[in-house]
Amino acid sequence: MIYANKGEKMSLADRKVLIAYFSWSGNTKYIAEKINTKVRGDIFRIETKIPYPTDYNETAYGIAKKQHDENIHPEIKDNCDISNYDVIFVGTPAWWYTMAPPVMTFLENNNFEGKIIVPFVTHGGGGGYNIADDMKELAKTATVLTPLIVYGKGNLNTDKEIDNWLKDINLK
Ligand SMILES: Cc1cc2nc3c(=O)[nH]c(=O)nc-3n(C[C@H](O)[C@H](O)[C@H](O)COP(=O)(O)O)c2cc1C
């Protein structure tokens, strides 16, 4: 994985920041909004043309499992023109050991040349897997920084963790 050079200060002040995320049950949305209170970018919610069912089993063991097993990347509803952004936070829940398929579609649909991707992942106990590397695979021309990995929607320490993470990756 490519990390930003340590010591290379990347102030966000003169960079255009986008926070793009997919969220099915709200955790990733919550973290996306929390990050945005600190980096003050634009927010884009990735949504599929055909929404996932609201039932957990139907989504997890039905459509999402099928998409995972068959490497299907579903169409997304709107795209977001990323050309004006320098730093793009990309948020996803862990779905079947990697990012959710709509996030794969988002990465494939856009040109990330010269862009910085800052991944953040929420999960249900499995951790962040290799999701940052998987993002790099789909957006080969981007620089992908160290991900933030949060269990569920986080806890009382999450605020501090986000601050420390932003400092570690030189974005604060
Ligand atoms: C389809 C599906 C697959 C999931 N797969 C995993 C997994 O592989 N590992 C894990 O730790 N959690 C898994 N989870 C739990 C979610 O990653 C976790 O609840 C996440 O915070 C949900 O984010 P959201 O509320 O933004 O959708 C899965 C949930 C769903 C619905």
Q: What is the pLDDT of residues 8-66, one digit of tens each?
A: 556 677 789 999 999 999 999 999 999 999 999 999 999 999 999 999 999 999 999 99
Which residue is closest in CA terms to ligand 1's atom 15?
124
Check if 63 has its Cβ closer than 6 Å to any atom of ligand 1.
Answer: no
Q: Which residue has the tokens 């209170």?
A: 37
In a domain, 138, yes or no: yes
Overall domain count for the chain: 1
140 within domain boundaries: yes
Q: What confidence score (pLDDT) does residue 1 get?
A: 46
Q: Is the CB of 97 under 6 A from ligand 1?
A: yes
| Ligand 1 midpoint to CA 96 (Å) | 7
Residue 136 domain-assigned (yes or no): yes
* Cβ(26) – ligand 1 distance below 6 Å: yes
Task: Convert the pLDDT of each residue in 115-141 to its tens digit.
Answer: 999 999 999 999 999 999 999 999 999
Instruction: Work out which ligand 1 atom sits closest to the CA atom of 29.
Output: 26
Residue 11 in any domain: the answer is no
CA 165 to centroid of ligand 1, rounded, Å? 22
Q: Which domain holds residue 123?
A: 17-168
From the CB of 59, is ligand 1 less than 6 Å away?
yes
CA distance 125 to 52: 22
Helix axes 158-168, 27-39, angle to 10 degrees: 60
Residue 79 forms part of a structural domain: yes
Quick check: is 4 in a domain?
no
65 in any annotated domain: yes
pLDDT recorded at residue 172: 83
Tell whether 126 is covered by a domain.
yes
144 Cα–ligand 1 center, Å: 22
Strand partners, 116: 87, 143
Q: Say how many Å lie between the CA of residue 131 and the centre of ligand 1.
A: 13
| Ligand 1, atom 22, residue with closest C-alpha | 93
DSSP-based three-state secondary structure for 131: helix
| 121 neighbors 148 (Cβ within 8 angstroms) | yes
- 166 ligand 1 Cβ < 6 A: no
Q: Label residue 12 left, alpha or beta by phi (over 0 means left) and psi (-120 to 50 means alpha).
A: alpha
- Domain CATH number, residue 78: 3.40.50.360
| Residue pointed to by tokens 């999701």 | 131
